[in-house]
Amino acid sequence: MPTPRLNPLDLFDVRSALTDEERMVQDSVARLVDEKVLPIIQRCFEEHRFPKELVPELAALGLLGSSIHGYECAGLNSIAYGLICQQLERGDSGIRSFVSVQSSLCMYPIYAFGSEEQKQRYLPRMARGELIGCFGLTEPHGGSDPANMKTHAKRRGKDWVLNGSKMWITNGSIAGLAVVWAMTEEGIRGFLVERGTPGFAAPEIERKFSLRASVTAALFFDNVIVPEENVLPEALGLKGPLSCLTQARYGIAWGVIGAAQACLAQLLDYTAERVLFGRTLAHNQAVQIRLAEMARQITSAQLLALQLGRLKEAGVMTPAQVSLAKWNNCRMALDIARDARDLLGGAGISAEYVPIRHMLNLESVITYEGTETIHQLTIGRELTGVNAF
């Protein structure tokens, strides 16, 4: 009896290491992507349009703030959140970015650093998708050095006066709530700024060639009055925003695997059918070697993400471990998307195939939430004890 072939997208059977609940999450999000995301996402990318109609679908499955306990959130574990990101990014990085920002960069800091009143006021509405959030940290003069923050807030009586600007903000122009980090006399603080507050503007950034199915904006603050009750009471210093980035980078490390899997899956179908010089491309040794290399990289990334998730669940995950996973897995996915585009030949630049879209998206994903160089230097510091930033 012939030995059954392995799953080409899961050569080490990572799925068997998941719990029943984790597999259920994986399957339900996969169905959502297949039925709701994939039929429309290429057109959204071409039209430079975020599909807001998907937000209720994402909320109904409990994908917004999925790791938070209480406040109408699902309370799933870290591996389940990783699988959510992986399946969503199989659809498009822009959809995963939306969920990542809503969950890890907006709901998480309110949950971790907010008052009980702030949690009750915002988290249930965000879980239901009724209130969209954005995260204001990166500034126009440079995103890799957040300590050099120019946006500032000064006390005025019981209120704060916020001035400055932020750049490359996912969800910015559609968000009803901005989690904004600003320098104060006490250090960096987090402020909750609601849309419509006088002096606050969030114009969309257009003419992007990456993440076109995602909203990206600039944020401007011109003497914006923020009441004391909208300041995150437990966040002081860079530790607050950096801990949010750690949560988001964790999801990215899982998410980009989905983009790589989407590229490989389509390429396997193409090479099995495309005939060149009297035989399919799959019969060509050079093609098989390149496909095998993609599978090797995806498998390594899957095992890295799974162990990272276990460390996170055990409460021992470190930011350096997240940096290594984000760096490794983003580089893996981008390299695979580029090579898949090349193996498709002239068809590789066509919207009929997914690698060019994933490739363009991943050019942003490898940059945001810490560039590749930043993560390399993080690991270098961990190895040597020397800060070379």
Q: What are phi and psi of 295, to 5 degrees?
A: -65, -40
The amino acid sitting at 278 is G
CA distance 244 to 112: 9
Give the separation between CA 219 and CA 135, rounded to whole angstroms: 10
Q: Is 29 in contact with 85 (CB distance < 8 Å)?
A: no
Please answer whether residues 40 and 91 qualify as being in contact, where contact means their C-beta atoms are separated by less than 8 angstroms. no
CB count in 10 Å sphere of residue 381? 15
- The distance of Cα 156 from the centroid of its chain, to the nearest Å, equals 36
The set of long-range contacts for 53-61, using a CB threshold of 8 Å and a minimum separation of 24, is 54/95, 55/98, 55/129, 55/132, 56/129, 57/32, 58/32, 58/95, 58/98, 58/99, 58/129, 59/127, 59/128, 59/129, 61/28, 61/29, 61/32
- Mark out the alpha helices in the chain (DSSP H runs): 20-32, 38-47, 55-60, 78-91, 93-100, 108-113, 116-127, 239-273, 285-313, 319-343, 355-365, 372-384
Catalytic residue among 186, 369, 372, 382: 369
Our answer to whether residue 228 is catalytic in this structure is no
Backbone Cα Rg of the chain? 21
In sequence order, the 6+-apart residues with CB closer than 8 A to the CB of 168 are: 138, 143, 205, 216, 218, 368
**Are 234 and 189 within 8 A, CB to CB?**
no
Q: 């695997």: which residue's tokens?
A: 257
Task: Kindly list the catalytic residues.
Answer: 369
